């Protein structure tokens, strides 16, 4: 045996680890697991209160929509959405306006203004019975959201067009429920954005944060400064000819309003604005620059009404200037002079009193340490371009928005952000490279339902099997799987449930020789090897982020030479081939930092390997073996202008084929860490093809930490 040295780094106490993995910590959902499992349909976000009735209602080929005549305008958006929903189901409908003294006919869909003081803002009541469908609400938003819940129920009707009977009372935990897209770096057409607004509204998002400017370009039209829209003043290769005209902006606002979504435009200043100085010859923070910005704010506000755009986001993040208080005070005053509210990023320039702060720092305790009296929006951990696509869903499901169970006058809600910094050639692939749809849906559940318990550790380390938290996550995964099947079968939806997978983890070990350590493990079960001094723990999930499992970045070595080992077992009644999504490091979409594409025959450019029954599993046939290796962030470098390819992400390439023998099969994995900024992960998610040729969870493959 070759000489080697290693040290066990499990320095944290057993109690701490148990809390981290959910063995003895509390976590509750607003709904009990029994309530969730009793639902005959998969609803996301799940209603606050629901009762399922014995008798439902059969959807006929013709029906009448009955609208309360007292305030018919409250139901306009809901009726428009309902008509489109029914038309898609080949149901012909007509309208009836109900006078105050009239009684609604049976077997109709009735929308009734209740003026019920006990029903919260944006809340609704949806009743489906043998006599028809009744929707009650006090406001336009509530009526619209009731229709979106009905949309999900209708999509799961039985073969006889029967809808399950129910009595639902529902309302949001937080008032602001948003999604942000960065179109300053990667332009998307209005048509593409409309598709996003449609689907966001299905999940009761009510805010679209539109990041209209960034280093490559100012995307909004300007008549007073047309040079801002001139391609020669924009970054080459970053859609330099593409802008949003004022007509485009007004059209998207109108379209969003019909779906109960408000748009918050962001004009990031004075940072994230490299286009500015080449265009004007001076920087934003200069006197000349501030005069230009004031005129641009005035121009936009003159083109877009206050009622259509009551909040303007000024960015102000990631920049150092000589006069931060003076700059932000002046820009804030200009927005307020146009009768708008101001929103900024925090951390950022010091906000003025009354400004809405958008928290983006990756720190779970940041909100608790705030001393500002300003209202705030939570985007902590809310970056879809960060980490790997699969583990983000776990993070959003367990996130307690604003670190509070419910919103209030200061804790407004949350905004999920999509920052595709690296140039994207085919914009339709943004939801593939970033988990836009599974991430948004998981975030919507936390935003709408709220989370009673503050457990940021569960966002990183999946609770163990049998805990309430794990059971709830597994139940949500099944609802998410159903929605992927129902509403996203032809869209990029990078997620397959993984909460059922478990491993024995050994290490970490400092290493001088991987082969020597491997020989100590291969051919031995992790629980009974006597020739290597190590410690093992059961860990959960088809996706593992080792930094969190090992106590955080401060616990890792400064030399980045650790290795962890995983052992799992799966039983097969016969010899057969299975498929699994397999991956090691996944680069962030904000920059190309990663060890790159592995060499021929390998799975991991950092030296990771997989052994099935002690035989190494050969890696894929790479198109660019050994390519795209960038161990430093690539912002402002040529590498950031090269679009990603599917083979760079484990979730966008074909699953691996794995040969199982009859009986017990051992899966052994080596996962090294070789440089400081490595995204130290491992993914192994068993999948199979469904009838529509989509990859879905393979429930026949159970991976366990021990043979049992």
With a pLDDT cut of 90, the percent of the chain lying above it is 83
H helices, E strands: number in the chain: 16, 28
Peptide bond into 45 cis (omega under 30): yes
Report the SS3 class of residue 339.
coil
State the average pLDDT over residues 436-443: 98
Identify whether the C-beta of residue 681 lies closer than 8 Å to the C-beta of residue 669: no
In whole angstroms, give the CA distance from residue 124 to residue 204.
Answer: 12
Identify whether the C-beta of residue 438 lies closer than 8 Å to the C-beta of residue 492: no
Neighbour-count burial of 639, counting CB atoms closer than 10 A to its CB (0-12 exposed, 13-18 middle, 19+ buried): middle
Identify whether the C-beta of residue 263 lies closer than 8 Å to the C-beta of residue 210: yes
pLDDT score of 21 = 42
Identify whether the C-beta of residue 495 lies closer than 8 Å to the C-beta of residue 389: yes
Residue 408 has pLDDT above 80, yes or no: yes
In whole angstroms, give the CA distance from residue 135 to residue 596.
Answer: 54
Peptide bond into 367 cis (omega under 30): no
Of 3.40.50.300, 1.10.10.10, 3.50.50.60, 3.20.20.80, the CATH number of 176-454 is 3.20.20.80
In the predicted model, what is the mean pLDDT of the chain? 92
Q: Cα dihedral angle (475, 479, 485, 490), rounded to 10 degrees?
A: -110
Please state the pTM of the whole predicted model.
Answer: 0.94
State the average pLDDT over residues 216-241: 97
Residue 501 has pLDDT above 70, yes or no: yes
Query: Which homologous superfamily does the CATH classification assign to the domain defined by 49-170?
Result: Chitobiase/beta-hexosaminidase domain 2-like (3.30.379.10)
Give me the residue spans of the domains in the chain. 14-25+491-697, 49-170, 176-454
pLDDT score of 519 = 58
Minimal CA–CA distance to 260: which of 87, 137, 434?
A: 137
Long-range contacts of 486-493 (CB under 8 A, 24+ apart): 486/42, 486/152, 486/155, 486/156, 487/155, 487/199, 487/202, 488/437, 489/692, 489/694, 491/431, 491/437, 492/428, 492/429, 492/431, 492/432, 492/436, 492/437, 493/431, 493/435, 493/437, 493/438
pLDDT score of 22 = 42
Instruction: Work out the pLDDT band at 554, boundaries 50, 70, 90.
Output: confident
In whole angstroms, give the CA distance from residue 585 to residue 629.
Answer: 12
Identify whether the C-beta of residue 178 lies closer than 8 Å to the C-beta of residue 205: yes
Tens digit of each residue's pLDDT (9 = 90 or more) over 5-64? 222 222 233 333 334 444 455 899 999 999 999 999 999 999 999 999 999 999 999 999
Identify whether the C-beta of residue 539 lies closer than 8 Å to the C-beta of residue 549: yes
Peptide bond into 347 cis (omega under 30): yes
In whole angstroms, give the CA distance from residue 481 to residue 267.
Answer: 37
With a pLDDT cut of 70, the percent of the chain lying above it is 93
pLDDT score of 102 = 85
Report the SS3 class of residue 8.
coil
In whole angstroms, give the CA distance from residue 364 to residue 354.
Answer: 24
Residues 117-155 as b/e (b if ≥16 CB within 10 A, e otherwise) read eebbebbbbbbbbeebbbbbbbbbbbbbbbbbbbbbbbb
Residue 71 has pLDDT above 70, yes or no: yes
How far from 669 is each of 55, 552, 684, CA to CA, in Å? 52, 21, 10
């Amino acid at each position: 045996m070759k000489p080697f040295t290693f040290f066990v780094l499990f320095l944290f106490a057993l109690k701490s680890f148990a809390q981290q993995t959910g063995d003895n910590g509390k976590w509750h959902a607003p709904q009990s697991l029994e309530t969730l499992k009793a639902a005959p349909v998969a609803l996301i976000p799940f209603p606050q209160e629901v009762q399922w009735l014995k008798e439902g209602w059969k959807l006929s080929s013709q029906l009448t929509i009955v609208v309360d005549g007292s305030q018919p305008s409250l139901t306009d958006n809901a009726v428009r959405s309902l008509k489109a929903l029914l038309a898609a189901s080949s149901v012909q409908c007509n309208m009836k306006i109900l006078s105050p003294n009239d009684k609604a006919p049976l077997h109709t869909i009735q929308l009734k203004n209740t003026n019920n003081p006990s029903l919260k803002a944006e809340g609704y009541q949806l009743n489906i019975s043998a006599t028809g469908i009744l929707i009650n609400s006090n406001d336009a938003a509530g009526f619209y959201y009731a229709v979106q819940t009905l949309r999900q129920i209708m999509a799961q009707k039985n073969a006889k067009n029967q809808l399950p009977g129910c009595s639902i009372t529902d309302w949001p935990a937080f008032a602001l429920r948003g999604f942000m897209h960065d179109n300053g770096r990667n332009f998307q057409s209005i048509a593409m954005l409309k598709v996003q607004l449609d689907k966001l509204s299905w999940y009761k998002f009510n805010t679209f944060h539109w990041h209209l400017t960034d280093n490559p370009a100012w995307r909004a039209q300007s008549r007073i400064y047309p040079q801002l829209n001139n391609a020669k003043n924009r970054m080459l290769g970053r859609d330099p000819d593409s802008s949003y005209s004022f007509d485009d902006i007004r059209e998207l606002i109108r379209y969003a309003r019909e779906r109960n979504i408000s748009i918050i435009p962001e004009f990031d200043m004075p940072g994230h604005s490299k286009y500015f100085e080449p265009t004007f010859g001076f920087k934003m923070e200069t006197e000349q620059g501030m005069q230009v910005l004031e005129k641009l704010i005035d121009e936009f506000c003159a083109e877009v009404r206050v009622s259509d755009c009551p909040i303007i986001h000024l960015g102000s993040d990631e920049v150092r200037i000589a006069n931060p208080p003076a700059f932000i005070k002046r820009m804030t005053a200009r927005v307020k002079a146009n009768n708008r509210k101001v929103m900024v990023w925090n951390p950022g320039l010091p906000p003025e009193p009354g400004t809405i702060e958008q928290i983006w720092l990756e720190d779970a305790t940041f909100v608790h340490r705030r001393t500002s009296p300003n209202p705030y929006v939570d985007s902590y951990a809310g970056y879809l371009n960060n980490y790997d696509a699969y583990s983000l869903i776990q993070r959003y499901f367990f996130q307690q928005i604003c670190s509070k169970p419910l919103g209030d006058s200061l804790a407004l809600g949350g905004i999920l952000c999509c920052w595709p910094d690296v140039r994207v050639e085919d914009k339709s692939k943004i939801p593939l490279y970033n988990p836009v749809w599974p991430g948004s849906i998981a975030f919507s559940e936390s935003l709408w339902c709220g989370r009673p318990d503050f457990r940021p550790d569960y966002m990183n380390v999946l609770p163990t099997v049998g805990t309430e938290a794990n059971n709830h996550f597994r139940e949500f995964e099944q609802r998410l799987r159903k929605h992927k099947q129902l509403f996203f079968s032809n869209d990029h939806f990078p997620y397959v449930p993984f909460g059922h997978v478990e491993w024995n983890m050994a290490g970490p070990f400092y290493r001088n020789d991987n082969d020597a350590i491997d020989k100590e493990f291969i051919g031995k079960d992790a629980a009974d090897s006597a020739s290597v001094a190590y410690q093992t723990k059961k860990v959960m999930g088809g996706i593992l982020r080792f930094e969190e499992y090992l106590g955080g970045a401060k616990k890792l070595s400064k030399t980045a030479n650790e290795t962890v080992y995983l052992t799992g077992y799966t039983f097969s009644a016969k010899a057969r081939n299975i498929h699994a999504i397999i991956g090691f490091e996944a680069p962030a979409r904000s920059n190309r930092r990663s060890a790159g594409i592995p060499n021929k025959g390998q799975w991991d450019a950092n030296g990771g390997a997989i052994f099935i029954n002690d035989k190494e599993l050969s890696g894929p046939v790479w198109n660019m073996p050994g390519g795209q290796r960038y161990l430093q962030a690539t912002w402002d470098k040529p590498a950031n202008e090269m679009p990603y390819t599917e083979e760079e992400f484990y979730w966008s390439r074909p699953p691996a084929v794995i040969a199982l023998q009859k009986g017990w099969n051992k899966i052994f994995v080596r996962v090294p860490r070789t440089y400081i900024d490595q995204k130290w992960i491992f993914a192994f998610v068993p999948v199979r093809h469904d009838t529509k040729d989509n990859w879905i969870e393979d429930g026949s493959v159970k991976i366990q930490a021990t043979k049992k």
